């Protein structure tokens, strides 16, 4: 649904962003709290959260002057499905499938992989 998968690869490609997602797994956290648990400054966390939000991987909730961030289950699930589709194709060697349909095999997988630039 929606435009998921826009730049999810870039989003989860950075170690700090993965650490942020790990911190948010199961509990909500404000920006400052995240920065306390990570070896980077608060503005750095803020910038990473911006990327994660653009990728629909986190959601925002305002509480007074604080911004509480939380994982977005829908976005995470979408990313999971996207990866799952690829793995299954790669593992089964879907060339066999394409052979039965007479199509060029690589098209689907390429779409799975390079949706950037």
Partner DNA sequence: ACGAACGGTAAGTCTAGGCTTACGTTATGC
Partner DNA sequence: GCATAACGTAAGCCTAGACTTACCGTTCGT
Q: Structure tokens of 111?
A: 């779409």
Stretch that binds DNA, among 36-44, 71-79, 84-92, 96-104 (CB under 7 A): 36-44
Task: For the CB of residue 54, give the shortest distance to its own copies in the complex, in Å.
Answer: 17
> Quick check: 95 and 75 in contact, CB under 8 A?
no
> In the chain, which ranges are continuous DSSP H helix?
8-13, 15-24, 31-37, 42-54, 73-92, 95-101, 106-113
Binding-residue pattern over the window 42 to 61 for its own copies, x denoting contact by CB under 8 A: --------------------
Q: Does 84 bind DNA (CB under 7 A)?
A: no
Q: Does 48 bind DNA (CB under 7 A)?
A: yes
Q: Does 77 bind its own copies (CB under 8 A)?
A: yes
């Amino acid at each position: 649904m929606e435009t998921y998968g826009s730049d999810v690869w870039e989003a989860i490609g950075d170690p700090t962003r993965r650490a942020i997602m790990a911190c948010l797994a199961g509990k909500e956290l404000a920006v400052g709290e995240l920065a306390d648990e990570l070896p980077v400054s608060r503005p750095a966390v803020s910038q990473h959260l911006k990327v994660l939000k653009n990728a629909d991987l986190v959601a925002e909730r305002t509480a007074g002057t604080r911004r509480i961030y939380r994982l977005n289950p829908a976005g995470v699930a979408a990313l999971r499905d996207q990866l799952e589709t690829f793995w299954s194709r790669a593992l089964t060697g879907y060339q066999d499938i394409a052979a039965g349909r007479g199509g060029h095999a690589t098209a689907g997988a390429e779409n799975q992989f390079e949706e950037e630039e």
